[in-house]
Amino acid sequence: MGIALIWCLALILIRWITSKEFLFSYSKECVTIMYIVGVNIDVRVRSRAGFETERRGSHPYIDFRIFHSNSEIEVSVSARNVRRLLSFQRYLRSSRFFRGITVPNSSNILDDDYNGQAKCMLEKVGNWNFDIFLFDRLTNGNSLVSLTFHLFNLHGLIEHFQLDTMKLRRFLVMVQEDYHSQNPYHNAVHAADVTQAMHCYLKEPKLSKSLTPWDVLLSLIAAATHDLDHPGVNQPFLIKTNHYLATLYKNTSVLENHHWRSAVGLLRESGLFAHMSLENRQLMESQIGDLILATDISQQNEYLSMFRSHLDRGDLCLENANHRHFILQMALKCADICNPCRTWELSKQWSEKVTEEFFHQGDIEKKYHLGVSPLCDRQTETIANIQIGFMTYLVEPLFGEWARFSNTRLSQTMLGHLGLNKASWKGVQREQSGSGDDVDPAFEEMDSDILPQEPRLS
């Protein structure tokens, strides 16, 4: 241990000389953690709560060599072997990061005295017009770590739950790294955007005076991890390619289950709540799962019907823990698809990114003769058509009910932006086609009772 400590201190000195920037305050505990991570590269995080979490780095890797030029799908490469290879690579990257060795494109942790502009932005983190794209640039691609750490501190969670700040930083870095930066939409910036939106909802009068620190803690963790390790393709794609995750979760909320189990794995690996009782940790993991699973867009009508029924009866009581938890589920659903409710400048960027991801999936499906999923064909779809349908069938009903629950200035602002953005896309649509159609046919064909899983925007 003494040699390891001397080696670590030498690396710190070298980094200080070359960059004059400390990433962490190293301690004996840190050296121990680095030793464990560096040596036990292929460790599984075992469950003490009744299930085995997803191994860190075991993301749903898609190896397209398994496809032939015809429509048949044969798995020629073992998913297990691919998963182990990717696990090794990502653990190695992680261990290098925590040893202080520079890794190309790695995320840098910035201290509280980082870029003054980013710090100034965080002072207005509760504003609905918060520009997450600008914040991500100002933090050198570190928006999720910086924003979430700040919110933990702002809500007093670090002090209330006696959290080790180094473990918290480490957990957030692992979360950020396990989002795929190559995804145009489902990446760490989207997670940071959802977390910022969730913070705005937590500040709403009905919620702020009723929520406990436990509720806030669950909400922020769930928001930050709700799309963890997203592969950039939707559930039907995983099912029709016989992906191991589809089999593991029996074709039900495949991505959401993976996001949840991956988040639990990182919580355990980081030891962030190791000082809590096992009972509390198990409760936390279960309730985070409830929140993340609620973001499955295929369950939209089910949650919306329950929400509408509660509002019609007027029986929501936020002193009831179960009712608070349900409202947090609805809040996370709103945060997840709130892009059309942002300003046009922000909303348009998100629309372009999610459509790019859809079209990329469609290109792959065409290449391997898999049958192009709805909304994924760049030859027949447009951003305007997709967005108008999305707003009409998914966003407007949800935010209309949320405004009934919390009729505040923020709710009216969101509905105002939603209306203006929809009108703007209709204008774009008219310019492109010259027709009066304002709804994408893929949305018109949606069943009135059950929403399809293809337009997975969360």
Instruction: Give catalytic residues, as residue numbers.
Output: 186
Contact 1, 29 (CB under 8 A): no
Q: How many residues make up the chain in this entry? A: 458
| DSSP output for 384-413 | HHHHHHHIIIIIHHHHHHHHHHS-SHHHHH
Longest CA–CA separation in the chain, Å: 74
Those residues with Cβ within 8 angstroms of residue 25's Cβ, 6 or more apart along the chain or in another chain: 166
Cα–Cα distance, 279 to 173 (Å, whole number): 26
User: What is the Rg, in whole angstroms, of the alpha carbon atoms belonging to the chain?
Assistant: 22
Task: Write 19-23 long-range contacts (CB < 8 A, 24+).
Answer: 22/111, 23/100, 23/108, 23/109
Percent helix / strand / coil, the chain, rounded to 5:
60, 0, 35
Q: How far apart are CA 60 and CA 241, in angstroms?
A: 12
Q: At what angle do helices 300-313 and 396-405 cross, to 10 degrees?
A: 30
String of DSSP letters for 307-346? HHHHHHHT---TTSHHHHHHHHHHHHHHHHT-GGGS-HHH
C-alpha to C-alpha distance for 253 and 150, rounded to whole angstroms: 31
Residue set of the binding site for Zn(2+): 190, 226-227, 336
Backbone angles phi, psi at 40, to 5 degrees: -90, 70
157's CB contacts (< 8 A; 6+ apart) are 163, 213, 216, 217, 220
Structure tokens, 188? 């760490």
For the range 69-78, what are the long-range contacts, defined as Cβ-Cβ under 8 Å and sequence gap of 24 or more? Answer: 69/368, 69/369, 70/369, 71/369, 71/370, 73/240, 73/241, 73/242, 73/370, 75/242
CA–CA dist 202, 211 (Å, integer): 8
Taking alpha carbons only, the member of 287, 303, 307 closest to residue 295 is: 303
Residue 34 CA to residue 11 CA, distance in Å, equals 13
